[in-house]
Every structure is written in C-alpha cells, then in structure tokens.
Amino acid sequence: MAATVEEKKYNRLILVLSIAIPVAVAILFGVKLPNVEPLTFLPPIYATTNGVTAVLLVIAVWAVRNGKIALHERLMKGCIGLSAAFLIMYVAYHMTSDSTPYGGEGTIKYVYYFILITHILFSIAIIPMVLISFVRALAKRFDKHKKIAKITFPVWLYVAVTGVVVYLMISPYYG
C-alpha cells in the first residue's frame, strides 16, 4: 500500500527534523552562554528521564502485546515527550557547563567510550525511527508501524539505558 498524502508530508518533516536536530545539538553543544550560572543540577535529572523512558518503553510493549492500545499510545507519547525534555535539558546543561572528562583508567575507559559512542550514534539514528513509527501509527498503518517498531524499540531502549549508564560512569568525575 502506497504512502498517503499526509504521510508524504510528514516524511519531509521527518527528514528535516532528522537532520536538523543532530546538527542543532552539535552546534549548541559548542555554544557557551556567558555570565550564566552552570546548570550542574541537570545531569541526574536528565539521566533519570532516560531511565523513566526505558521503563515506559518496556511497559508500552507489554501494553500493546496485551491489547491495551490506548495505554500503549499514551505511554509512547510520554516517551516522546520525555525524550524531548531530555534533549532540552542536555543542551541547556552543555550550553552553561564545561564538558566533564572521563577519569577512569584502563579497560573501563574503553568500555565507557564504546558505550558513549554507540549511545550517541544510536541517539541520532533513533530520531527518524521514532518519528516514522509515530506517523505510521497516527496514519493507522499498523502493519507498517509494527514492522519499524520492532526495530525502533530495541534501539530506543538501548539509547535510554546507555544514557543512564553513561551518567553513572561519569558522575564521579563531575566537579
């Protein structure tokens, strides 16, 4: 079945957002706001946001598998909202605070950087996956929604869980 006119419209928006969000984050990551108090309280909050997202993703999958479609829909909208909130807090923190270098030594340092790099790469990849999954559900094209959601779920769960792991691994080195 071909994409609807509405889906095609959203596909253009998805493409724009999938490029614009990572580019904007990369640019804003390098911007430091002068004379602004560092928002050092944010990392544990946005790490918790990632943790809550992970839990809600698992519950959402349980809900859809048990026929609780309305609950699934609310949970998924909540996950999207939490991910947007995470992104805003993450950018705000980095615009007001210097990056914290990882202080671990030996093998754990390589483990940290592997987790961090895969977390970043998958967090970029998940943007279009989530948006496409969401649009397909809105368009009631559940066969296509289910097909991409089977890929989106584990990637999004990985991003959410590794966000918490990265925070826990670097938190001892915050100033």
Q: How far apart are CA 66 and CA 159, in angstroms?
A: 25
Confidence at 2, pLDDT banded by 50, 70, 90: low
* For residue 28, pLDDT beyond 70: yes
Kindly report, residue by residue over 153-173, the tens digit of the pLDDT: 999 999 999 999 999 999 999
Q: Give the chain's domain count.
A: 1
Give 141's contacts (C-beta < 8 A, 6+ positions apart). 1, 4, 7
CATH code of the domain containing 51:
1.20.120.80
pTM: 0.93
Kindly report, residue by residue over 37-85, the tens digit of the pLDDT: 999 999 999 999 999 999 999 999 999 999 999 999 999 999 999 999 9
In a domain, 159, yes or no: yes
In a domain, 14, yes or no: yes
* For residue 4, pLDDT beyond 90: no
In a domain, 35, yes or no: no
In a domain, 34, yes or no: no
47, with CB counted inside 10 A (0-12, 13-18, 19+), is buried
Q: What is the DSSP letter of 171?
A: G
The whole domain housing 52 covers: 5-29+40-173
In a domain, 79, yes or no: yes
In a domain, 113, yes or no: yes
Asked if residue 89 lies in contact with residue 42, where contact means CB atoms within 8 angstroms, the answer is: yes
Kindly report, residue by residue over 78-136, the tens digit of the pLDDT: 999 999 999 999 999 999 998 899 999 999 999 999 999 999 999 999 999 999 999 99
* For residue 34, pLDDT beyond 70: yes
